[in-house]
Amino acid sequence: MPDSHQRPQQRWQLTEPHPEAAAELAKAARLPQVLAELLVARGITQPGEAFAFLNPELAHLHDPRLMLGMEAAVTRLERAIAQREPVLLYGDYDVDGTTAVVLLKTAIEMLGGTVSFHVPHRLREGYGLQSSVLEAAYAEGVRLVITVDTGMRAFAEAETARKLGLDLIITDHHLLEAGDAVPHALAILNPNQPGCAYPEKSLCGAAIALKMAQAVLERRDPARTREKTLPSFLKMAAIATIADAVPLRGENRVIATLGLHELRRPAGAGLRALFTAAALDPSTKRLTGFDVAFRLAPRINAAGRMDVASEVIELFSTRDAGRAAELAGKLERLNRERRDTEATALAAIQARLASDAQLAEDRLLVVDGDGWHRGVIGILASRVVERTAKPAIVVSVEDGVAHGSGRSVDGFQLLNALESCADLFTRFGGHAFAVGFALPAENLPALKRRLRAYADEHLAARTPEHVLHIHAELPLDRITPVLAGWLRKLEPLGHGNPEPVFVARRARLAAAPRVMKERHVRMELAQDGAAGSTTTIRAVGWDLAGRVAQLRLAQGSLVDIAYRIRENDHPEFGGLEVEIAGIRLHN
């Protein structure tokens, strides 16, 4: 992997400012100008919308009955509960799928129903609904199956269910292509299906399960559902909403914000054990979207990646603190195992890129290894893209079969590249930015050759570079605790609601930069204000020691910096500081 001097270039891309709309909103809603700019960039121009965005509340959740199929789904589920019919929930093995199972399972049990679940094994069974599971469930007396986070493409399995006399309710959020048919089922809950008027189209699978749970619980006891059950259900839905990387706007933002708030006092034994394992204490330190995305979600996902996801469901269902601690400990081990597996394979990829000049020159990287764990090849591909700014495919060869996972960069449709080699695969799929496939190992040389030719044709004009999105100009002397307080109201940050990156021009190094651990750097930056005043602020640059040396920065150097605002809670050096995302000489 390239070390710092070979790091891909960084291109700064400033969001187009809308100063007039922002000034108007700032005045009308009494907001700081820079916050108004960030809101306008999110399509929010009216004071009412801004207020709702900054202050999400329960009343902003949509009525679940607006979702096509909800009436039929709830009526059938109520009948199953009333007649004590066993219900089977069929989920997916990731955070979204497992939390979705937990939500519906909890709701059905609260209403006195009998429910079991099946989550496929990632390696042994693979993604999606399986006819064999439906047949086994039928044999055991199940007459109603509800899928969560999966099922939109289960045409053959829906047919199996129909032939068996099994009622199937599909709840899923996966997109359909225009003109696609939908499987034949008793009901389908998916805001993306034709004819569904539900206002929020980008719910994750667990949020759709939440809506179904809400609908069935509200029919029984609307007041209690609103006041107690729904807020408590939002915890799981928030974790999935953040982990599944759906845009944190609209109803998703409401779910994520209120759910994180509820997570301050996790009631269940499972959540408490998971927080302990992840060294998080939401009762003393506010939980952020970042905590969920990078600390909780990987632990929950580790189960499905490395072993059996069904233990996640047990973790979140158990009332036994001892059992919860045991299961959380297992997730912790699996996550560590996942990290080690990933690090070993990444080191091997790094060595390959360093020693194989031809490969390192490729515009689209294809790296293969024997027996790399298939649960991590997608993560590995993302890591390679992060380091090289090139589209990358990581392939694991096992028993004569090559399994691959790829990630792309802005402006390159990776799925199209695969389609040009369609004849080589036994299966392939995905979208512009993420793909997966399998093929006989003997086809691998041909795949590499043809992808190289494809990339030479389609990527020749592109220089590998990272794009740093900068959202607004903000001179360093305008960073104040009051402004930082306002900006915190944008949380939870994540997909569709990115952490603001600002740019300050003509900042001056008040002292020589200090290198830490040979990699990182600390600086004292000064910004001269209009009235001859000067403000200084501490800055930290992770992994920027090489860059600072390259620019020969010294006391007095004038720089433009792209940065994020950070609150350092160190007892001695506490306070506001900036984290440098990019630095250039001012000219």
**Least distance CB 240 / Mn ion (angstroms):** 7
Distance CA 190, CA 275 (A): 32
Distance CA 363, CA 203 (A): 35
**Least distance CB 196 / Mn ion (angstroms):** 17
Distance CA 423, CA 402 (A): 15
**Least distance CB 526 / Mn ion (angstroms):** 47
Task: Specify the residue, 101 or 395, whose C-beta has the smaller distance to Mn ion.
Answer: 101
Distance CA 501, CA 564 (A): 5
Task: Specify the residue, 81 or 95, whose C-beta has the smaller distance to Mn ion.
Answer: 95
Question: Exposed, middle or buried by CB within 10 Å (0-12, 13-18, 19+), for 355?
Answer: exposed
Task: Specify the residue, 96 or 251, whose C-beta has the smaller distance to Mn ion.
Answer: 96
**Least distance CB 340 / Mn ion (angstroms):** 27
**Angle made by CA atoms 498, 501, 504, in degrees to the nearest 5:** 165
Task: Specify the residue, 190 or 335, whose C-beta has the smaller distance to Mn ion.
Answer: 190
Of the ranges 204-212, 337-345, 418-426, 432-440, which one interacts with Mn ion (CB under 5 A)?
Answer: 204-212
Task: Specify the residue, 91 or 541, whose C-beta has the smaller distance to Mn ion.
Answer: 91
Of the ranges 27-35, 74-82, 94-102, 521-529, which one interacts with Mn ion (CB under 5 A)?
Answer: 94-102
Question: Exposed, middle or buried by CB within 10 Å (0-12, 13-18, 19+), for 23?
Answer: middle
149 belongs to the binding site for Mn ion (CB under 5 A): yes
Q: Mask: binding to Mn ion, 323-352, rule CB under 5 A, as x and -? A: ------------------------------
Size of the site for Mn ion (CB under 5 A): 4
Q: Mask: binding to Mn ion, 229-258, rule CB under 5 A, as x and -? A: ---------------x--------------
**Least distance CB 99 / Mn ion (angstroms):** 10
**Least distance CB 508 / Mn ion (angstroms):** 48
Distance CA 296, CA 319 (A): 20
**In 3D, which of 208, 160, 215, 213 has the Cα closest to residue 188?**
208
Distance CA 161, CA 130 (A): 10
Alpha helices, DSSP H, located in 150-204: 155-164
96 belongs to the binding site for Mn ion (CB under 5 A): yes
Distance CA 398, CA 68 (A): 44
Distance CA 498, CA 352 (A): 34
Eight-state DSSP code of residue 493: P
The secondary structure of 40-68, three-state, reads HHCCCCCHHHHHHHHCCCHHHCCCHHHCC
**Least distance CB 205 / Mn ion (angstroms):** 4
Task: Specify the residue, 96 or 200, whose C-beta has the smaller distance to Mn ion.
Answer: 96
Task: Specify the residue, 244 or 491, whose C-beta has the smaller distance to Mn ion.
Answer: 244
Of the ranges 147-155, 188-196, 329-337, 508-516, which one interacts with Mn ion (CB under 5 A)?
Answer: 147-155
Task: Specify the residue, 234 or 470, whose C-beta has the smaller distance to Mn ion.
Answer: 234
Task: Specify the residue, 137 or 148, whose C-beta has the smaller distance to Mn ion.
Answer: 148
Q: Which residue is nearest to Mn ion (CB)?
A: 96
Of the ranges 89-97, 160-168, 269-277, 480-488, which one interacts with Mn ion (CB under 5 A)?
Answer: 89-97
Of the ranges 91-99, 266-274, 424-432, 503-511, which one interacts with Mn ion (CB under 5 A)?
Answer: 91-99
Task: Specify the residue, 248 or 451, whose C-beta has the smaller distance to Mn ion.
Answer: 248
Q: Kindly compute the dihedral angle of the four CA atoms of residues 551, 556, 561, 563, in this order, to the nearest 10 degrees.
A: 120
**Least distance CB 113 / Mn ion (angstroms):** 24
Which DSSP helix (H) or strand (E) runs through 395?
A: strand 392-398
**Least distance CB 149 / Mn ion (angstroms):** 4
268 belongs to the binding site for Mn ion (CB under 5 A): no
**Least distance CB 386 / Mn ion (angstroms):** 23
Q: Mask: binding to Mn ion, 482-521, rule CB under 5 A, as x and -? A: ----------------------------------------
Of the ranges 142-150, 176-184, 273-281, 560-568, which one interacts with Mn ion (CB under 5 A)?
Answer: 142-150
**Cβ neighbours of 514 (radius 10 Å):** 12
Which tokens hold the place of 265? Answer: 């006092």
Of the ranges 23-31, 143-151, 422-430, 507-515, which one interacts with Mn ion (CB under 5 A)?
Answer: 143-151
Distance CA 467, CA 462 (A): 13
How far apart, in Å, are the Cα atoms of 247 and each of 252, 420, 550? 7, 31, 37
Distance CA 251, CA 42 (A): 15
**Least distance CB 261 / Mn ion (angstroms):** 23
Eight-state DSSP code of residue 464: P
Which tokens hold the place of 448? Answer: 């590499």
Helix, strand, or coil here: 7? coil
**Least distance CB 203 / Mn ion (angstroms):** 10
Task: Specify the residue, 149 or 167, whose C-beta has the smaller distance to Mn ion.
Answer: 149
**Least distance CB 47 / Mn ion (angstroms):** 34
> Please, are residues 523 and 509 in contact by the beta-carbon 8 Å criterion?
yes
**In 3D, which of 356, 435, 421 has the Cα closest to residue 392?**
435
Task: Specify the residue, 241 or 288, whose C-beta has the smaller distance to Mn ion.
Answer: 241
Distance CA 432, CA 445 (A): 23
Of the ranges 145-153, 231-239, 411-419, 523-531, which one interacts with Mn ion (CB under 5 A)?
Answer: 145-153
- Examine residue 492 and say whether the peptide bond preceding it is cis (omega within 30 degrees of 0): yes
Distance CA 408, CA 431 (A): 10
Which tokens hold the place of 389? Answer: 């700014």
Q: Which of 205, 282, 298, 404 binds Mn ion (CB under 5 A)?
A: 205
Task: Specify the residue, 200 or 244, whose C-beta has the smaller distance to Mn ion.
Answer: 244
Task: Specify the residue, 96 or 262, whose C-beta has the smaller distance to Mn ion.
Answer: 96
Q: Which residues bind Mn ion (CB under 5 A)?
A: 96, 149, 205, 244
